[in-house]
A and B are shown apart, each in its own frame.
Chain A
């Protein structure tokens, strides 16, 4: 039982937290700008590498480099929106989807050009896990990631419920026509969508680097589970996306748990779990678990 918690539940929760942070942006962009943003994973990679540079040049720990990663990633996101997505905004959204494919490629090749393709780590050396009650082993980085995601979820909830910008964002996600009649400034809302989405993506990217290592396919590899998480939570429901991320992350880890000595699913097929859940969901409950939009 303790093995289950130590080696499956906690890592699942950690992975789920990372998916959750990425899925919030995907869900909000899908809900407000109405397109599937395929470059979101690569925004995560941008954040992870920006923080890596800060760690190298300033000699600060990775957690302290998070603000630098956020600022850089937001700038990249706003830049790509201005030059690659905005010119296509009045066309069918599928053109923007195709453009976001291209942006994913552009971002990744720029990262490969600037930072090279070697895997990097923020800090070397083995971290001793904290042992609680003699049986619960939990790595410090896992505690940090899970706790930070929890705090971010609360802040996001407060932002969306109580601030004017947050409320207008929800209004646009629910009914864009009504929101524009009510006189909400669409460009401002779009800008905030990118800022929040890119910030959380940067944090997620840095957490991946903290948990494993920083490499150029880091974000792209997580795109599919993050989409699954966003759909699970319901499009345009940021808190739903967090729940979806946690569910998908846990499902991926727990599926490989050996029951009666047999693994449920071979670990090499772990990433198929998110996909199967996603297709099942799209077919039987396209609005997600928390009543999102069906676009």
Chain B
């Protein structure tokens, strides 16, 4: 491969890894800080993608939308809708124990998926929404546009990281970790456990929607297929655990490493003999499943384990 080709492969890689990094940081807020097991990441991701797609795309006869608004408005709307849904979900479900919360959030993701597939007037059903604009499209075309979008994604990764980092070192983050580690003790010193959990769930949901919006803009087309739980929910969980849950830098590193492994398996499986290539995606799933088991048994705390910030007295 030529150097230029390699460079643009790297750009594509970084763009996707950046979108996953936002998801991973968002999950870290919910699970790493708050101990909330969200198995419905795909649902919030889909809300974000569809909200942004409907708000920013140009008109279409087959469904509502085509408001043709700026990208930034799309991002904000995506965040607001996902935040509201997240709030409703959290109000109902955060008091549940972790296993129950996992079941409940899977259910929510499923209902969101049903809604998207069935409400064709809004989402164009299984056909999906096309002609979604990309930011800065008017200024750059072709290859530079790819670079510009990768920079846009990574500026949002930085923003998300900044928010996550500030939250983590704040007194708010300390209370949240206290709740995660010992709920009764936190409650006994007068902390409102449900309220803290609801807040972190909502903040996480907002950033998951931002990641969804980013991928809608990147692919320029979004259909229910893109919200496949395995590709979204499962991969993000693997990333966070491999990177180090509770550690924001670990979340970003996990996204880069696991997306790297994922992309590498694509190269490997594409070298298989012809008869096997149709089944290569299942081999990739199998490998990533085994990778998770390996990480869980050997490197549970991840590449960058959580380190509580020093107390300043």
Contact = CB atoms under 8 A, between A and B. Distances in A.
A88 B300 CA distance: 10
A105 B289 contact: yes
A194 interface: no
Interface stretch (A47-55, A136-144, A269-277): A269-277
A93 interface: yes
A278 B99 CA distance: 13
Contacts of A101: 39, 234, 237, 292
A215 interface: no
A279 interface: yes
B64 to A, nearest CB: 19
A112 B286 CA distance: 10
A99 interface: yes
Contacts of A116: 279
Nearest to B104: A279
Interface in B275-311: 279, 282-283, 285-286, 288-290, 292-293, 296-297, 300
14 contacts: A87-B297, A97-B99, A98-B241, A101-B237, A102-B290, A105-B230, A106-B289, A106-B293, A109-B285, A223-B106, A271-B114, A272-B114, A278-B107, A283-B92
A278 B103 CA distance: 9
The interface size bin for chain B is 35 or more
Contacts of A180: none
The interface size bin for chain A is 35 or more
A135 interface: no
Interface in B226-257: 230, 234, 237-238, 241
A94 B37 contact: yes
B147 interface: no
A181 interface: no
Nearest to A35: B99
Contacts of A38: 102
A278 B104 contact: yes
A224 B37 contact: no
A264 interface: no
A269 B289 CA distance: 31
A279 B107 contact: yes
Q: Which of A95, A113, A223, A286 has the most CB of B within 10 A?
A: A113
A99 B237 CA distance: 11
B106 A224 contact: yes
B120 to A, nearest CB: 11
Nearest to A30: B99
A54 to B, nearest CB: 23
B289 A275 contact: no
B279 to A, nearest CB: 6
Nearest to A230: B103
Interface of A: 30, 35-36, 38, 83-84, 87-88, 91, 93-95, 97-99, 101-103, 105-106, 108-110, 112-113, 116, 223-224, 227, 231, 266, 268-269, 271-272, 275, 278-279, 282-283, 286, 295
Contacts of B140: none
A207 B282 CA distance: 26
A112 B283 CA distance: 9
B182 to A, nearest CB: 13
Contacts of A108: 285
Contacts of B110: 224, 271-272, 275
B102 A36 contact: yes
Contacts of B286: 105-106, 109-110, 113
B118 A97 contact: no
A224 to B, nearest CB: 5
Contacts of B97: 295
A282 B296 contact: no
Contacts of A278: 103-104, 107
Nearest to B233: A101
Contacts of A88: 296-297
Interface in B89-103: 92-93, 96-100, 102-103
A282 B100 contact: yes
Nearest to B230: A105
Contacts of B96: 282
A98 B234 CA distance: 9
Contact of A105 (B102, B114, B234, B279): B234
Nearest to A223: B106
Contacts of B103: 36, 224, 227, 231, 278
B100 A105 contact: no
Given A97-B98, A278-B103, A102 B279 contact: no
A105 B100 CA distance: 20
Nearest to B283: A113
Nearest to B291: A102
Contact of B288 (A87, A97, A105): A105
A99 B289 CA distance: 9
Contact of B290 (A93, A94, A106, A268): A106
A95 B104 contact: no
B185 interface: no
B163 interface: no
B278 to A, nearest CB: 9
Interface string B37-70: 1010000000000000000000000000000000
B93 A102 contact: no
Contact of B37 (A97, A266, A295): A97
B234 A275 contact: no
B300 A95 contact: yes
A278 B104 CA distance: 8
